[in-house]
Each structure stands twice: as structure tokens, then as C-alpha cells.
Amino acid sequence: MENNFYKDKELMNLFCKLSKEEFIQTNPLISELEYNATRCIWRYKGYDNMRTTKEQLRDTEPSIDDMRYDLAEREAMNLNVGSMIDLLMDGFEGLNNIPSVDIREEWESLFGDSNGTGS
């Protein structure tokens, strides 16, 4: 196995989801040393402080409601205090009020197509 399995999106998805023991048992070609080295790299680069989104963890094709949530989650993660104040002062149109076709189009432009090949 490569020493830098952290570049493999599928493996890193499992890395975030599973305990150390579960991950090593599921991926016998990755040694405990490689797992620990990757954990150190993540800590050094600050990835341990990164938030994992529902979109990143989803294993199934998203529903329109999942897409609405993903869009809301992305926006919320990118809001700064000034933007939050503007929203509270001026209001906004909720994603539940936006037509499904527009939600799908926006979701696909941000995350990829709905067949699980997201970016």
C-alpha cells in the first residue's frame, strides 16, 4: 500500500468514519504504522479540526431534501459574522421554498452529479 493513502478519497472517508481498529481490520494492506503516520500528518496540517459534512459521509444517492441540507450546510460553514447579521436583519428565502429543479442544479454545480460521483 502507498504510504500516502490519505490522498485516496474513499479511504479517507473510511478513515474519518471508522475507529482505528475498524479501519485497519477493514483495510489489511494498511499497517498500524501507516495509520498513525497519516493521523500525524492530519494533525500537523490541521485537518483534525476540519468538519466532516453529511455530503462527504453519504454513501447513497442524495434526495432533494439531502441536497437542500447540503446546500444549507455549505452556506452555514462559509458564513461570517457580517453575513449572519445581514441575514438576521434582511431575512432570506429558505431552501425549502426553492423549486426542486433549482436545488438539483445548484447542488450538482457544487458537489457533482447525483450519481455519487461528486467532487
Q: Residues 23, 14: contact at Cβ < 8 Å?
A: yes
What is d(CA 111, CA 106) in angstroms, rounded to the nearest whole number? 9
Burial of 70 (0-12, 13-18, 19+ CB in 10 A): buried
How would residue 116 be classed by pLDDT, with cut points 50, 70 and 90? very low
Kindly report the pTM of this predicted structure. 0.52
More confident residue, 101 or 117: 101
Cell triple for residue 51?
468538519
pLDDT digits (tens, 9 = 90+) for 52-102: 677 777 888 999 999 999 898 888 888 888 888 888 888 888 999 999 999
Least confident residue range of 7-11, 67-71, 99-103, 106-110: 7-11
Q: How much is the mean pLDDT over the chain?
A: 80
